[in-house]
Amino acid sequence: MDDDEARPQPLQGVKVVDLGQVYQGPYAAFLMAKAGADVIKVEPLHGEPVRIREALGGGASLPMAMLNSNKRAITLNLKTPRGCELLKALVSRSDVLIENYAPGVMDRLGVGAKTLFEVNPRLVYASATGYGLSGPERDSLAMDLTVQAASGIMSVTGFPDGPPLKAGPAVADFISGTHLYGAIVTALFERERTGLGRMVEVAMVETIYPTLASNLGMIQSDLGPPPPRTGNRHGGLAISPYNVYPCRDGHVAIICLVEAHWTNLLKAMGRGELKDDPRFIDNAARVTHMDETDAVVEEWTKNLTRAEIFEASRAYRLPTAPVRNLVEVMNSPHMHERGMLQWIDHYSLGRIVVPNSPLRYHGTPQMMGASNARLGEHNREIYGGVLGLSDSEIDALMADGVI
């Protein structure tokens, strides 16, 4: 570690009660844990949905390990009065509570925001939902797939002659989880000035909208017809070349955002004679002749490997990248060298790759990855060490089905 890497993590001393489940809430809490916060993951007695397989004896799941590293884990039955009392006791000693239950669930349990602010006025209460805490669609059931459908993502994903497609990854969950983290940290910053907490919320469908900027640009101000699906071409059909092209061992993505990129691509392809061709003279012409432009590029890529194309792109300063499969990405030398990906020994899964936080805090060493905690692993540590309960009281809570 360099001498200047001696500062503490930026959220050191911040205490978080994480009621998050699946991906959205847990990812926001994960980012906080990786920034040094003390995150207590609170789960039902059988575990949160991603843990179910583990709780039933089927072993841990990789998503559980990825999103819950560096958290302490307890169980708590919020459907019991004593369970709600214990949550209030934890909140009274904490800075942040994160939950991504459906709207109204926390209120029905008797531990909604209003109640918890009475316990701790400095609390940052963070709520993440599919459609928000208000509005005519607030009670619609939301999962990543349904939000992709409702937000417009699926309508612009796929090829023009095919059906709408979902994005492969859980983009709505993780984009909204990142926004939730931003809202929490913003509220914590405000609290440093005012001394008061507040409620913050994000809706999955709302965090998606800005990502559709290129597609929305095709509609303009007259709210014309919905934009078509464009496959791997630019979502606004405004840039060419912009596509995924076949090569000898897979595919490669190439984009020419500015004219210098196109000029350099012609050099790389050995097609300098096309520089003054009116079909390709500028981006507008190439968009008009998009099929012909793509054909020129494909004629070059199909005879080369991904590595050869990538090497040419580095030499000629072209925005290109090989289309990598997930095994290749998991073993990326670049991300492992930077510490974004780490190999760890997991208590159930064995040797696995887990991500670090993509947020970097220069001057502070990265927090190393670790196995996520077992279900209820820190019950005695939290209820005894934090809340001061005796062993006999903890035993009674377990016997009564509270923890």
Task: Point out the catalytic residue in the list 173, 222, 277, 282.
Answer: 173
Half-sphere exposure of 63 (CA within 13 A, CB side): 16
DSSP secondary structure code for residue 59 in this structure: -
Q: What is the DSSP string of 174-190?
A: HHHHHHHHHHHHHHHHH
Active site residue 173: yes
CA dist., res. 310 & res. 60, Å (int): 37
Query: Two tokens at 37?
Result: 């916060």
Distance of CA 202 to the CA centre of its chain: 14
Angle between helices 259-269 and 290-301 (to 10 degrees): 40
Q: Which uninterrupted H or E stretch holds 397? A: helix 391-399
Spatial separation of the C-alpha atoms in residues 350 and 344, rounded to whole Å: 8
Closest by CA position to 204, among listed 184, 175, 229, 239: 175
CB 295 within 8 A of CB 222: no
Catalytic residues: 173
